[in-house]
């Protein structure tokens, strides 16, 4: 995906804020016992599709939680539409993805720790 326009960035910020509030209020219904964070929202240039990246506190059940949320996408889209109806002409189609950035950072930290613990070779 290329560089986002100012319009896309503003719309993404609105959706991210509203989705965060929705997950804070109703997230337990869609993904029980999960603490959900909306880490990033990307919107297509025509504002028709919003790709929402979610992070979960419990990484073990993250994939199952994303699948549950995907099955409830139409309900979530309806609730989002009720919130942004005065700010947007259309309510975008929602696509949910797992944001695994934290897992990647942890993996890299472990690798660097292992490297730093290895004895140095004399030159």
Per the model's pLDDT, the better-predicted residue between 114 and 43 turns out to be 43
Residues 6+ apart with CB under 8 A from 85: 91
- 86-103: pLDDT as tens digits: 888 889 999 999 987 766
In 3D, which of 85, 35, 38, 79 has the Cα closest to residue 60? 35
How far is the C-alpha of 112 from the C-alpha of 117, rounded, in Å? 9
Q: What is the pLDDT of residue 16?
A: 94
Band (pLDDT 50/70/90 cuts) for residue 56 is confident
> Residue holding tokens 């603490």?
35
pTM score, whole prediction:
0.79
Residue with the bigger pLDDT between 27 and 105: it is: 27
- Residue 17 has phi, psi (to 5 degrees) of -65, -50
Count CB atoms within 10 A of the CB of residue 95. 14
* CATH of span 6-117: 3.30.300.20
pLDDT given for residue 2 in this prediction: 66
- Please state the rounded mean pLDDT for residues 22-51: 89
Report pLDDT for 33. 80
Span 53-79, mean pLDDT? 88
Any idea what the Cα angle at residue 13 is, between residues 7 and 18, rounded to 5°?
A: 130
Mean pLDDT of the chain, nearest integer: 86
42: pLDDT confidence band, cut at 50, 70 and 90? very high
């Amino acid at each position: 995906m290329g560089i986002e326009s100012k319009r896309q960035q503003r719309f993404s910020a609105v959706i991210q804020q509203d989705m965060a509030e929705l997950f804070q209020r109703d997230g337990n219904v869609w993904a029980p016992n999960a603490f959900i964070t909306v880490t990033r929202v990307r919107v297509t240039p025509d504002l028709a599709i919003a790709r929402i990246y979610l992070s979960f506190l419990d990484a073990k059940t993250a994939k199952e939680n994303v699948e549950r949320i995907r099955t409830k996408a139409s309900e979530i889209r309806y609730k989002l539409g009720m919130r942004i109806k005065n700010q947007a002409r259309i309510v975008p189609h929602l696509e949910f993805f797992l944001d695994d950035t934290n897992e990647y950072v942890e993996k890299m930290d472990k690798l660097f720790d292992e490297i730093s613990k290895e004895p140095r070779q004399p030159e």
